[in-house]
Chain A
Amino acid sequence: MIIAKFIFNARHRRAWSNPERKIQTLESFAQTEIDAGESILSALPYVDNPRLRKHLERHAKDELEHGYLFSAQAQKLRKLQPNSSSIYKKPDKLYNLSRFKTSTELNSHDFFSGENYEKLGEITYVAMLNIAEAKAEKVFSKHHQLLHDDPETFKIFERILKDERYHVSYTGKFLTEWTNQGKTKQVKKALSFAKKARLLNSIKRKSSKVGEKIGYLILYILYFTAIIPFAFASKISRTKKGWQYPVKVSQDLKQGHSQY
Chain B
Amino acid sequence: MKFTQSTNTYISTFLELIIGLHKSGYWWLIPLIIILLPLSFFFILAQAVPIVAPFVYTLF
Q: Which partner residue on chain A sits nearest B53 by CB separation? A: A111
Q: Which partner residue on chain B sits nearest A135 by CB separation? A: B57
- Give the shortest distance, in Å, between A13 (CB) and chain B (any CB): 12
**A32 to B55 CA separation, bound complex (whole angstroms):** 11
Given A201-B50, A258-B16, A260-B17: A215 touches B56 (CB 8 Å cut-off) = no
- Give the shortest distance, in Å, between B55 (CB) and chain A (any CB): 5
Query: Which residues 209-260 of A have a CB within 8 angstroms of B?
Result: 211-212, 214-215, 218-219, 222, 226-227, 230, 233, 237, 258-260
Q: Which partner residue on chain B sits nearest A230 by CB separation? A: B32
Query: Which residues 8-60 of B have a CB within 8 angstroms of A?
Result: 13, 16-17, 19-20, 23, 25-26, 28-29, 31-32, 35-36, 39, 42-43, 45-60
Q: Which partner residue on chain A sits nearest B43 by CB separation? A: A215
A68 interfacial contact with B, CB 8 Å: no
Which of B20, B46, B54, B60 touches A111 (beta carbons < 8 Å)? B54
Q: Which partner residue on chain B sits nearest A210 by CB separation? A: B46
Are B60 and A143 neighbours in the complex by a CB distance under 8 Å? yes
The count of residues in chain A whose C-beta lies closer than 8 Å to any C-beta of chain B is 47
A197 interfacial contact with B, CB 8 Å: yes
- Which of A97, A139, A201, A214 has most B Cβ within 10 Å? A201
Are B52 and A201 neighbours in the complex by a CB distance under 8 Å? yes
- Give the shortest distance, in Å, between A113 (CB) and chain B (any CB): 10
Q: Which partner residue on chain B sits nearest A143 by CB separation? A: B60
- Give the shortest distance, in Å, between A219 (CB) and chain B (any CB): 7
Q: B32 contacts which chain A residues (CB < 8 A)?
A: 226-227, 230
**A105 to B54 CA separation, bound complex (whole angstroms):** 10
Which of B16, B26, B39, B56 touches A108 (beta carbons < 8 Å)? B56
Q: B16 contacts which chain A residues (CB < 8 A)?
A: 258-260
Are B49 and A208 neighbours in the complex by a CB distance under 8 Å? yes
Given A230-B28, A259-B16, A260-B16: A95 touches B60 (CB 8 Å cut-off) = yes
Q: List 24 A-B contacts (CB under 8 A).
A: A94-B59, A95-B59, A97-B59, A100-B54, A108-B59, A109-B56, A116-B53, A132-B55, A132-B57, A136-B57, A139-B60, A140-B60, A197-B55, A200-B50, A202-B58, A204-B49, A204-B52, A215-B43, A222-B35, A226-B35, A230-B31, A233-B28, A237-B25, A260-B16
- Tell me the B residues contacting A by CB distance below 8 Å: 13, 16-17, 19-20, 23, 25-26, 28-29, 31-32, 35-36, 39, 42-43, 45-60
Q: Can you name 7 extra interface pairs (CB under 8 A) apart from A95-B60, A132-B56, A197-B52?
A: A95-B59, A106-B49, A143-B60, A201-B54, A214-B46, A215-B42, A259-B17
